Amino acid sequence: MAQASNTIYGDIVTGQTLNSMKRALETRAYALKYVTNVSQYATKGQAAIHVPYLENDDGQVVSVGAAFDAPSGDAVGSKDLLLNKKVGNPFLVKRDLAYQTTVKIVEEKSKIAAEHILESMDVVSTAADTITKADFIAARKALNEANAPLHGRVCIIGPEHESQLMEIAEFVSADKIGKTSNMPIVEGFVGRAFGFDIVLLNHLPMVDKKGEINSTAKKNDSTPVIFLQSLAYMYGKQLVETNYSLQDLANADRYVPYNTFGNAKLEDSYVVMVCDKTTADPTS
């Protein structure tokens, strides 16, 4: 009987984790929400997603009777997304302490696990001392020059820079409201400025003076500001399930909700990051 009931709990924790993920994506800000999701192509057993990437040269204008220049580049190619990562959040439910309330505890722990999984999966992994109007103008110019679509442009900031937005006159105006009157304002949505939806992420990682996440933790002492268009990055989620095992001596049930996924760059020129490149290296 114990095994049968635990099987039920295992089903509940899987379903609850999935539902929590969906709710979290609808009500909280995650970078995953603002980049390209190709999960629909991540079929079971597939090791990679091949996103066709077709290029053409610019149009040519030549005199009548003259020859066109030969085309350059490959006719067909792809951006490959390897589904080679796994993210999970194992947790225990003590049987003797959770007597008659196991399902409730599993529900609550599943919700927390779902948020941890989403934060671990969040794909924007790349300090400006101050975010300024000039930063927005420069980022907009860079994306325009790269022919990035106007739709889907986002500025991702950390808590340090949110208050600095109030010093930008163009932000403290009607431009900071939603895109439409009936637009749902999700948690983390701060406003709009210069064509960017501004999103606050509390789990934005620290970077080093080169704007990279350094293997030496002490070098990661700057908080970046990231401007991007949704095609700059892609991710795909594949397998979603929960493993269960009974911990006999501990008198506890162990659950491991997890999923396999992959993330990769799609259009390099569609992302601009501002960070403090003069920060001293604390290890030197």
**pLDDT (0 to 100) of residue 7:** 45
Flag whether pLDDT at 58 surpasses 60: yes
pLDDT at 229: 92
Same domain, 119 and 8: yes
Quick check: is 172 in a domain? yes
Q: Quick one: 166 and 188 in the same domain?
A: yes
d(CA 230, CA 97): 46
What is the average pLDDT score of the chain? 75
- Ranked by mean pLDDT, the top range of 106-115, 139-148, 164-173, 270-279 is 139-148
- Would you say residue 125 has pLDDT above 50? no
**Do 21 and 47 share a structural domain?**
yes
Q: State the residue range of the domain holding 150.
A: 133-233+268-274
227 and 259 part of one domain: no
Residue 180: what pLDDT?
Answer: 47
Query: Number of folded domains in the chain?
Result: 2
pLDDT at position 132 is 81
Position 10 pLDDT exceeds 60: no
pLDDT beyond 80 at 63: yes
- Report the pLDDT value the prediction gives residue 217, as an integer from 0 to 100: 77
Asked if residue 208 and residue 152 are part of one domain, the reply reads yes
Q: Is residue 223 part of a domain?
A: yes
Whole-model pTM: value is 0.72
Same-domain check for residues 20 and 109: yes
3-state secondary structure the chain: CHHHHHHHHHHHHHHHHHHHHHHHHHHCCCHHHHCEECHHHCCCCCCEEEEECCCCCCCCCCCCCCCCCCCCCCCCCEEEEECCEEEECCEEEECCCCCCCHHHHHHHHHHHHHHHHHHHHCCCCCCCCCCCHHHHHHHHHHHHHCCCCCCCEEEEECHHHHHHHHHCCCCCCHHHCCCCCCCCCCCCEEEEECCEEEEECCCCCCECCCCCCCCCHHHCCECCEEEEEHHHEEEEEEEEEEEEEEECCCCEEEEEEEEEEEEEECCHHHEEEECCCCCCCCCC
pLDDT digits (tens, 9 = 90+) for 241-274: 888 888 777 778 888 888 888 888 888 888 888 8
With respect to residue 283, please indicate whether it lies within any of the assigned structural domains. no
In the prediction, which pLDDT does 6 show? 44
pLDDT of residue 5: 42
